[in-house]
Amino acid sequence: MCKVCAVGETVMDPCARYAHRMSASDDPRRVHFQSPEYLVDRLDAIADLFDKDRTDLLVEAIREYIEETADSETFQELVATKYYDDQLDFETVKQLVGAESAQRLRLLKRDLEDEPLDLAAPDDIDIYDGKAATVDTDDER
């Protein structure tokens, strides 16, 4: 359950209907896993308390964990490192950190690999203010 849902029952219904519902493109997938019995018992007690289904609570807990993990700096750095080392492909990175961050990592990776980015040079700025200095690199000291 999210922090907003925990405030009270009046907020819980709109929160569940708008913020936490699966979109039409979210096809449910059956997952089977082993869990310590005491955790399942606690989960069932919480589900009974809130008059909810165990699955709904598990899905919400997983969603919150993923959101918190994906927002952490350590996670972002790990994804970037593995992407730069070609241990993750772009589509996986997009799933892990979102499309915008993944695109930023793709551009940075290309920059690190010295691949051209096909960006036009700005023509409205003179970064040398008309006074560019040159250096003779053949001159030995």
Report the first-to-last Cα separation within the chain, whole angstroms: 70
The rounded radius of gyration (Å) of the Cα atoms in the chain is 25
Greater pLDDT, 10 or 101: 101
Sole residue written with tokens 């069932």: 44
| pLDDT band per the 50, 70, 90 thresholds, residue 8 | very low
Say how far apart CA 61 and CA 32 lie, in whole Å: 16
Predicted confidence band at 22 (pLDDT cuts at 50, 70, 90)?
A: low
CA dist., res. 4 & res. 21, Å (int): 15
What is the average pLDDT across 91-104? 93
Reading the block at residue 113, the tokens are 């690999």
pLDDT tens column, 26-71: 788 888 889 999 999 999 999 999 999 999 999 999 999 998 998 8
Given this model, what pLDDT does residue 119 score? 72
